[in-house]
Amino acid sequence: MQFNEKLKQLRAQKGISQADLAEKIFVSRSAVAKWENGLGIPSEQSLDMLADFFEVSASELMSDPTVETVMVTKNSIIGRQKTYIISITVTALTLIIGLAVLCGYFVFGRTNRYANPTISYRLIFETEKEIDTEKFVNYPDGEISADGDFADSRTFEMKHNVGAICLPELLVRKTVNGAVSYEKVDYSNLVFTCSDNILLTAEDSPTQSSRLSVLPVEYYAVEFGDWANIKYGSLFISIKVFRNRVAVEKSTVGFSDDSSEIQLAQSKQLVNDIEPVDANHVNSVYTIERILNPIGEEYSGDLSEYAFIDRDYLTTTDKIEIGSVIYLFAVTEYDNIKSNVFAVKVVRKSVERISLTFPDFATDIIIGESKPLTLTCYPSNASFNVLNEQATVTLLTPEQAELEKTDSGWLLTVSSDAKYVGEKIHVKVETPEGVERTFYWTITGISIEKLTLLNADKGQELEQLTYINRNETLRLIVSVTPADATYEKISYNLFADISNFGRYVKLSEDGVLTVSDDAPSGMEIFISASAGRFSSPSYKIVVKD
């Protein structure tokens, strides 16, 4: 397949016009038309750009060896035709002058008339229009070096108080036989290669001006010389970004909460304020210089047993005494500027709230019962808890209960005397630092679960239907479940199905039922028992003839 046929086919597959293809490879539309009509072939540079655009090799485009021969032959025919026309119009000069002119025309006309134009492309910044950028070093992908030569117009400083650099607008400078023109860059087709410390972003919008920005990966990341490569098609431009170091002049250490105190077993963040604020200190190394106990004596041995610094946090242990003072300082990297010596006092964390509770958090306790009590002091990091201190726990009502210290807390046992039911047990708690509170619980009785009426003579539960003769007595007793339930007395209740039943039947307070000899036959009597608010079922007794 001929070159012009391949070119037409590839352009058709891409679905673009001759004008669009010409714009992509920086030539005129007529040049593309000439190539597709078989009237010429592209220069080596244009051929490479065509190969890149269609993603094929240059050799594939020109794979037919007859292509160039055909093009040259066609150009020769056109040249001879023009030569004949010119030779007819030449005046009858002397034969020697005519031959000389004719020879000159063949020598220069044929070799230069159809020679390919000299075209070059260069990716530049808009600010470099009047600068000879041919001498600037542009590194291809993977070969950029921060040590290379960078022109002033391609070296940019990132100030410490600025988050990004806006680069000048990018242009493509096209030179055809010495004539220069400029074309705008499609920012969406830019490809970046950067060092680890910087990022490049591009914006290209019809409603906004094109902008290329350089940002640091971290605020202090950019330092002495970072670089980036910007690729547009086969064109490159290389830049260098630097940030001048700002030395640390002063360093001041303190806590993030602006205090100078720390509690037992606490961690607090240290901060190192640097002057000037934009200095490049990166990190500070904190060191504990010494620790003095409350009477001013210096701790010896491994100081980390009492306090240590991990990253930017000072942490105390439970071995350091309250009232001790920790002296520490910081040294900045690079400049090795030592900070002030920061004195930190170890203080007590007071108990704010006390809780003395049963496991079930009940507010009462049953008479005769024993229940464990647990003491809790809040907050959890209070010095009382850290040091495992003991509180004073006092029973204020010893006649009602007993309080015993155990390994896990205290055990409270209530008196079994029913006279204390409804009264309160009081316990006072006092911590070593003087925080105190009194707790109380109400003594309650053992609840009745069941009341049953029994025939005292038989020792059995009374039947739900029992018959009794006139002039007969029935002795009753009550069974209480559980047997140790708390109650004051048992009451017996009587009811009959006729009016004035009291003339015929009586029930004593101790549970003796008596039926008179004139009681009506078939009279129904209903009997029950109660203890406080709890009652037994109702039993029916019928009078026989």
Give 32 or 397, the one with higher predicted confidence. Answer: 397
- Select the more confidently predicted residue: 30 or 420: 420
67 or 457: which leads in pLDDT: 457
Contact of 262 with 326, CB cutoff 8 Å: yes
**Structure confidence by residue, pLDDT tens digits, 275-295:** 988 787 778 999 999 999 999
Query: Is it the case that residue 467 has pLDDT exceeding 70?
Result: yes
- Per-residue pLDDT band at 102 (split at 50, 70, 90): very low
The two tokens of residue 319 are 């071995």
The DSSP line for 158-190 is --TT-S-EEEPPEEEEEEETTEEEEEE--GGGE
Bridge partner list, 298: 292
359-411: pLDDT as tens digits: 999 999 999 999 999 999 999 999 999 999 999 999 999 999 999 999 888 99
Strand partners, 288: 328
Q: Looking at this protein, which amino acid is placed at residue 12?
A: A
Alpha carbon separation from 300 to 48, 306, 315 (Å, rounded): 77, 10, 18
CA-based radius of gyration for the chain: 54
* DSSP helix/strand/coil, 81: helix
| Confidence (pLDDT) at 382 | 95
Q: How confident is the model at residue 58 (pLDDT cuts 50, 70, 90)?
A: confident
Q: Indicate if the pLDDT at residue 224 is higher than 60.
A: no
pLDDT tens-digit readout, 504-545 = 999 999 999 999 999 999 999 999 999 988 999 999 999 997
- pTM for the full predicted model: 0.53
φ, ψ at 285 (rounded to 5°):
-100, 120
In this predicted model, which residue has the larger pLDDT, 1 or 540? Answer: 540
Model confidence pLDDT, tens digit, residues 310-320:
989 999 999 99
Residue 147 has pLDDT above 80, yes or no: no
Tell me, what's the pLDDT at 4? Answer: 84
What percentage of the chain exceeds 70 in pLDDT? 85
Which of the two residues, 300 and 244, has the higher pLDDT score?
A: 300
Residue-wise pLDDT for 342-364, tens only, equals 999 999 999 999 999 999 999 99
Q: How many whole angstroms separate alpha carbon 159 and alpha carbon 154?
A: 16
Q: Ramachandran region of residue 432, left (φ > 0), alpha (ψ -120 to 50) or beta? A: alpha
